[in-house]
Structure 1
């Protein structure tokens, strides 16, 4: 019963993810998505696109990664990918958030979630590479559906986008080729400036 109480407390706590607003807007919309919507979308993308991974992956592990990777933002907040004043890499603040939030769970689950979160952040395993590909691919699709979306809004240039999105290639060469074509088309359409 103690486990159940801890798990329910965790479930209540992560409801806060629905209130963390991202800069990227929903497809064909002017409404910003929240972290919970983003995580759900990445989970669906993982299920649908898993066959395109460079190497065989454990889909359940990738699903866990994409569903928990942003939970730390409940405490640490969302960092815009193109923010030039704040590092987008794993920070001490995010690690403390992981310890606090996942620490609400029974010890064994807390350890598993922290390990999965760290694995995603490190980006070394095939699962982490694919999860990170999904994380970078979704906003690209959103921005192309919104005539440049946050790229235009924050004056983000082609090379900045390319440099942040090339990580897609580590998880899926075929999705990266698709993404590269979208970037080129975006330049041709004038929604992404070179």
Structure 2
């Protein structure tokens, strides 16, 4: 038994508990309570499993689940950037890369390298798995905002064009889900919960 590896793994497990304390701007379905990153990641994993048949291409669902479970771990150090933030760009940053190296670096080297590789793949968004994982990441807040009568769209005065622009990436992972999402966006305008 390799006790050094076990201790590193336990240290990592303790460290990622902090994900539960990272508050997101979006709120739970039909609720006024903000979602945390752990809830978000779990929900994406379940969505990926349930919706996998709608992927544009065949995917390794275990890899997608890994991606969505670890994609926001870097926010322990880098913080959560609101997708509609006008001050800070919602793209991979040097700050997030440093966070990935530090946090995943708590693990034994081989595991650390494997998780960093999966995280990088998600961030790059080029593989079928990454495209589908990113589609899930953009779909969940859309479902939340529509269930909350506009939720963060109204709270932060987010307009249709911004929502459409940020959500159209769903199409890269699933045309079927994008068709559904596009209808939700249009219906939100018709209901008055998303302003043109």
TM range, smaller chain: over 0.9
Deviation at 1:53, TM superposition (A): 0.1
Instruction: Work out the CA distance in 2 between the residues paired with 1:166 and 1:143.
Output: 16
Alignment partner of 1:155: what SS?
coil
Partner in structure 2 of residue 176 of structure 1: 178
Instruction: Work out the CA distance in 1 between the residues paired with 2:6 and 2:49.
Output: 28
Partner in structure 2 of residue 31 of structure 1: 33
Deviation at 1:173, TM superposition (A): 0.1
Alignment partner of 1:18: what SS?
helix
Q: Does 1:47 align with 2:59?
A: no
Which residue of 145, 148, 152 maps to 1:146? 148
Deviation at 1:116, TM superposition (A): 0.4
Alignment partner of 1:33: what SS?
strand
Deviation at 1:121, TM superposition (A): 0.3
Unaligned runs of 5+ in 2: none
TM norm structure 1: 1.00
Q: Does 1:187 align with 2:189?
A: yes
Partner in structure 2 of residue 58 of structure 1: 60
1:96-135 mapped onto 2 (5 Å cutoff): 96-135=98-137
Deviation at 1:117, TM superposition (A): 0.4
Deviation at 1:120, TM superposition (A): 0.2
Partner in structure 2 of residue 163 of structure 1: 165
Deviation at 1:175, TM superposition (A): 0.2
Deviation at 1:154, TM superposition (A): 0.2
Instruction: Work out the CA distance in 2 between the residues paired with 1:6 and 1:140.
Output: 37
TM norm structure 2: 0.99
Instruction: Work out the CA distance in 1 between the residues paired with 2:60 and 2:96.
Output: 25
| Structure 1 stretches of at least 4 aligned residues deviating more than 4 Å after TM superposition | none
Instruction: Work out the CA distance in 2 between the residues paired with 1:112 and 1:131.
Output: 17
Alignment partner of 1:23: what SS?
strand
Unaligned runs of 5+ in 1: none
